[in-house]
Amino acid sequence: MTDAHAIPGTGALDATIAMPYTLTAGPAAGQFLAELAARRIVGSRCAGCARVMVPAQDFCGRCGGAAGEDLVVVAPTGVLTAITHAGQDTLVFVRLDGAGADLLHRLVGATGEEAIGTRVEAVWADEPAGGMLDLAGFRAAEAPEEPAAIAPLTGGAERIVQLDESMELHYRHAYGPYYGRLFDELGARRRIMGVRCPSCQAVLVPPRPRCDVCHVKTATWVDVQDTGTLKAFSVIHLAFVGQRREPPYIYAEIVLDGASTKLIHMLSGVDIDTAPQTLRPGARVRAVWNDDADPTGTLQDILHFELLPGS
C-alpha cells in the first residue's frame, strides 16, 4: 500500500495499492516502441512462415520461427477486426495493411459507428514520450487509393530496452462497526478499545465480531492501556513499497496491557545496531501519540512505541 487516508465522517478509508515495475521490452518489441516516436510502425517477418507481425516480435507465435531479424515498416492504416468497449475507451484489434497479425490498441474519438471492417489510420501523440502511447490510437479513415507497401526498416532508432510501469489499484475500504469504533475512539479520545470473548475471556485488539479461537460472537467492549509488553521484533533494513518510514527501523509485536492479542507497530528510541543483542521479548513499552498533527482516526495517531524507563 502506498497511500491510505481516512475520509472524515464516513467510517471508510481511501487507499491505493501500487506496484511499480520495469518492463523489459525485448529486442524486436523494443525497436517497435522506439520507432513510434518517428511515427513509424515496425513489424517483423517470420523466417519460417513469412507472416508479418505488428508489434515486431522475436519469435513467430504461429510457427515458432525466428522473426527478430527481418524488421519492416508497415503502413499506418488498416481495418478493424474486433471492437470492445471498456469504460470510456473503445479497444480494437487492427489488422494493418500487409500484416498477418492484429495489433491491440484503442480508437481515438470513437463515434460509435465503427464496425469490424472499418478502415482506420494511426493517430500520433503530439509529444512522443517513449512508449506505446506515442501511437495514440486509431481513427476511422478513407480507403487509400493505392495499396500500402511494406518496406525494410533502415536507419532504425536506438531501441527502448526497459519501460518504467506502475500498476495502481484505488479502492475504498469500509471499516465496519468494529474497526470503525476502534478508530473513532483512537482519533477522538486516544482510547484503545478491544472486545472480550465470552467463552475464553480473551480481549481482542483490534476488535472483531468473532473470537478467532472459539468462533463465538464477541460481547463486551473494553478499554486497554497504551502501555504493553514487547513479544517479538524485527529490525527492518530493506526498503519496500508502502513503508511509512525510511529503514532501518524496528517492527514490533506488542501485547497491550489488558489485551490478549498482538498489535503490530514500530518501536523507536532504541539503538538499531545493538537492538538484536540488547532488546528482548518482555520489555515494557508505551505508545507515543502524535501531538503535532490533527488526529486521523487510524493507528498512525500513535507515532510509535518506546521503551518504558527501566526496560
Q: At closest approach, how far in Å is the CB of 46 from Zn ion?
A: 3
Tell me the β-bridge partners of 252: 233, 265
Reference 35, options 172, 153, 189; nearest CA is: 153
> Which one, 217 or 244, has the nearer CB to Zn ion?
217
> CA 181, 184, 189, 193 torsion: positive or negative?
positive
Residue 7 interacts with Zn ion (CB under 5 A): yes or no:
no
Instruction: Collapse the DSSP code of 242 into the 3-class scheme (helix H, G, I; strand E, B; otherwise coil) and give the result.
Output: coil
Q: At closest approach, how far in Å is the CB of 100 from Zn ion?
A: 9
* Beta-carbon contacts of residue 9 (< 8 Å; ≥ 6 apart): none
Residues of span 233-272 touching Zn ion by CB under 5 A: none
Residue 203 interacts with Zn ion (CB under 5 A): yes or no:
no
- Among residues 1, 63, 104, 232, the one that binds Zn ion under rule CB under 5 A: 63
- Scanning 45-53, 81-89, 90-98, 151-159 for contacts with Zn ion by CB under 5 A, the matching segment is 45-53
Residue that has been written with the C-alpha cell 472480550 in this structure:
196
> Which one, 7 or 213, has the nearer CB to Zn ion?
213
Instruction: Collapse the DSSP code of 5 into the 3-class scheme (helix H, G, I; strand E, B; otherwise coil) and give the result.
Output: strand
> Which one, 60 or 186, has the nearer CB to Zn ion?
60
Residue 66 interacts with Zn ion (CB under 5 A): yes or no:
no
The upper half-sphere exposure of residue 297, i.e. CA atoms within 13 Å in the direction of its Cβ, equals: 18
Residue that has been written with the C-alpha cell 502501555 in this structure:
227
Residue 60 interacts with Zn ion (CB under 5 A): yes or no:
yes
Chain-centre distance for alpha carbon 41: 30
Q: At closest approach, how far in Å is the CB of 207 from Zn ion?
A: 13
Q: At closest approach, how far in Å is the CB of 31 from Zn ion?
A: 18
Q: Which strands form 103-106's sheet, in the order they lie side by side? A: 103-106, 89-96, 77-86, 119-124, 135-140
Residues of span 137-176 touching Zn ion by CB under 5 A: none
Residue that has been written with the C-alpha cell 540488547 in this structure:
278
- Scanning 20-28, 56-64, 90-98, 259-267 for contacts with Zn ion by CB under 5 A, the matching segment is 56-64
Residue 213 interacts with Zn ion (CB under 5 A): yes or no:
yes
Measured at the CA of 35, the angle between CA 31 and CA 41, to 5 degrees, comes to: 100
> Which one, 62 or 208, has the nearer CB to Zn ion?
62
Residue 65 interacts with Zn ion (CB under 5 A): yes or no:
yes
Residue 46 interacts with Zn ion (CB under 5 A): yes or no:
yes
- Among residues 26, 27, 48, 128, the one that binds Zn ion under rule CB under 5 A: 48
Residue 219 interacts with Zn ion (CB under 5 A): yes or no:
no
* Beta-carbon contacts of residue 62 (< 8 Å; ≥ 6 apart): 46, 49, 51
> Which one, 89 or 212, has the nearer CB to Zn ion?
212
Cell of 176: 465496519
Residues of span 276-305 touching Zn ion by CB under 5 A: none
Which positions lie near Zn ion, rule CB under 5 A? 46, 48-49, 60, 62-63, 65, 197, 199-200, 211, 213-214
